[in-house]
Structure 1
Amino acid sequence: MYKNFAGKKADRLISEIVSKWAKNILDKIGVKVDVIGQKNIGERNYLFVSNHQGIFDPLVMLAYIDKSMGFIAKKELLKVPVIREGMKKIHCVFMDRENMRESVKAIARGIDNLKNEYSMVVFPEGTISKCHKMLDFKKGSFKLAIKSGVSIIPVAIDGSYRIFEGCKYKIFAPAGVKMVIDKPIDVKLLSAKQKRSLPLMVKSIIEKNLNSR
């Protein structure tokens, strides 16, 4: 029990440090984030499911979501020493999407993290869209919630692509970003049919929030 308590306390401290680091970077670039729905996040852990407009999405979430959380991330980030070590500290899971066996192992590690009361973030599009429009969701991402029993929180991020991907004249550009945090979806209450349609359900919620003013 003590080890578990000590571990959670250390995770919280690391999370606070990472959050301040992410917010400092966004502030220096001139990114202003409007957060809607922060009250929808409770004390428990969640699987945050978000659209993915640009490379700054993780920083926006780390800076403005008050929760210790790791990411399901592409394996290429393991090649960047500083980022790699930091991501390991917050319980990120690295996935090789070209290798089915390794992808299954990564999903299993993500499920274990969720069962051990860590929150996780997944971007089911699998890549950045570089624009307002969303790409199709990959169904495999939702096994994280279904097999762990952890509730899903849909997150809509809009405007983040303007910081880097949509910036033509600078390396980074100031931008206004909107992040909408929706209400949790308790997967334990869903029927088998509803679980099969979960990707479409969550995508429609995120699309609705992207298009809200």
Structure 2
Amino acid sequence: MIRLTVNPIVESATLMRRVMVVLGSIGVTSLYSSLILVRALLGRLTRERVDRYTRDWSALLLRLVRVNLNVEGRIPDFEDGRRYLILCSHASHYDIPLSFVALPGSIRMLAKKELFRIPLLGPAMRAGEFPSIDRSNHQRALEDLQTARDMMESGIVLWAAPEGTRSADGSLGTFKKGCFHLALDTQAVIVPVGIRGNEKVLPARTCQINLGQPVDFVVGEPLDTAGYGREQLPELMEAVRGSIERARGER
């Protein structure tokens, strides 16, 4: 069990504090993106270095909002030679840094192509082996998924949100099939994760930030897709959904 307690008192951030959080987040992201790009330019960027940078970056982002993080559940050994796919509920922009801090291994987010257009961050993500998915182009999406498969074969643990996008109200949305097809194609072990309280750190459609918010990061029981055929895709999706709902206390 991991606990990252920065400040146990929940409070609504003042306007000045919100500005500081935004500027601090931009500054920290720019710093670590630059470090990755410089090392890549010099030919000194390793996967282990990217792992360290993503965790340091994530920890600083969480400190800016003083998240009170509690990690529960059994975390698998991601270095046992199997392919792993983390499927996580997605109700906050902070889900990614929460996952990087809570979990070990070489975790990379299966990202939307739009993120790669962001200056510094986009090129750094490409240099750091973050795969993208172009959902607007079917052929390109197939090629992107093949790249993701190759990354998993090389030992990278992929993180994806089965809902496809951030939930507007914190509830678990409808699951998309793409990441489940990827899991079946690679016979990956799915690690379901449910996060509670994250939607209150930065509520959707607001500029409000709640400091010291308690967040529970709950790791469900891993599910090996080697026992599933493609015709069992609906059953697999329902099993993962049930696990995430139980982790979030919804069942």
Q: TM-score range by the shorter chain?
A: 0.7 to 0.9
**Aligned mates of 1:60, 1:76 — CA distance in 2:** 21
Pairing 1:96–2:134 present: yes
**Aligned mates of 2:127, 2:110 — CA distance in 1:** 13
Instruction: Tell me the CA shift for residue 127 of structure 1.
Output: 0.7
Instruction: Tell me the CA shift for residue 154 of structure 1.
Output: 0.5
Aligned residue for 2:175?
Answer: 137
Question: Following superposition of structure 1 onto structure 2, how do residues 1-213 of structure 1 map, counting pairs within 5 Å?
Answer: 10-44=46-80, 45-166=83-204, 168=206, 170=208, 172-174=209-211, 175-191=213-229, 193-211=231-249
Partner secondary structure for residue 215 of structure 2: strand
Instruction: Tell me the CA shift for residue 191 of structure 1.
Output: 4.8
Q: Is the 8 A contact 1:154 1:184 kept in 2?
A: yes
Partner secondary structure for residue 59 of structure 1: helix
Q: Judging changes above 3 Å, is the alpha-carbon distance between structure 1 residues 21 and 191 closer, same or farther for their aligned structure 2 residues?
A: same
Partner secondary structure for residue 87 of structure 2: strand
Q: Is the 8 A contact 2:184 2:230 kept in 1?
A: no
**Aligned mates of 2:240, 2:170 — CA distance in 1:** 17
**Aligned mates of 2:221, 2:186 — CA distance in 1:** 18
Q: Is the 8 A contact 2:194 2:247 kept in 1?
A: yes
**Aligned mates of 1:11, 1:169 — CA distance in 2:** 35
What are the ranges of 5 or more consecutive residues in structure 2 without an aligned counterpart?
1-44
Partner secondary structure for residue 81 of structure 1: coil
Seq. identity, %:
24
Q: Judging changes above 3 Å, is the alpha-carbon distance between structure 1 residues 144 and 169 closer, same or farther for their aligned structure 2 residues?
A: closer
Partner secondary structure for residue 46 of structure 2: helix
Partner secondary structure for residue 180 of structure 2: helix
TM-score, normalization by structure 2:
0.74
Partner secondary structure for residue 155 of structure 1: strand
Q: Is the 8 A contact 1:40 1:181 kept in 2?
A: no
TM-score, normalization by structure 1:
0.86
Q: Judging changes above 3 Å, is the alpha-carbon distance between structure 1 residues 165 and 96 closer, same or farther for their aligned structure 2 residues?
A: farther
CA RMSD of aligned residues (A): 2.3
Q: Judging changes above 3 Å, is the alpha-carbon distance between structure 1 residues 115 and 178 closer, same or farther for their aligned structure 2 residues?
A: same
Q: What is the identity, as a one-letter code, of the residue corresponding to 2:100?
A: L
Q: Judging changes above 3 Å, is the alpha-carbon distance between structure 1 residues 51 and 10 closer, same or farther for their aligned structure 2 residues?
A: same
* 1:180-208 CA-partner distances (Å, limit 9, x unpaired): 11122111123555444211110111011
**Aligned mates of 1:149, 1:121 — CA distance in 2:** 15
Instruction: Tell me the CA shift for residue 35 of structure 1.
Output: 0.6
Instruction: Tell me the CA shift for residue 106 of structure 1.
Output: 1.7
Instruction: Tell me the CA shift for residue 82 of structure 1.
Output: 2.1
Partner secondary structure for residue 110 of structure 2: strand
What are the ranges of 5 or more consecutive residues in structure 1 without an aligned counterpart?
1-8
Q: Is the 8 A contact 1:70 1:87 kept in 2?
A: no
Q: What is the identity, as a one-letter code, of the residue corresponding to 1:21?
A: W
Q: Is the 8 A contact 2:184 2:229 kept in 1?
A: no
Instruction: Tell me the CA shift for residue 166 of structure 1.
Output: 4.2
Structure number with larger C-alpha Rg: 2
Q: What is the identity, as a one-letter code, of the residue corresponding to 1:53?
A: A
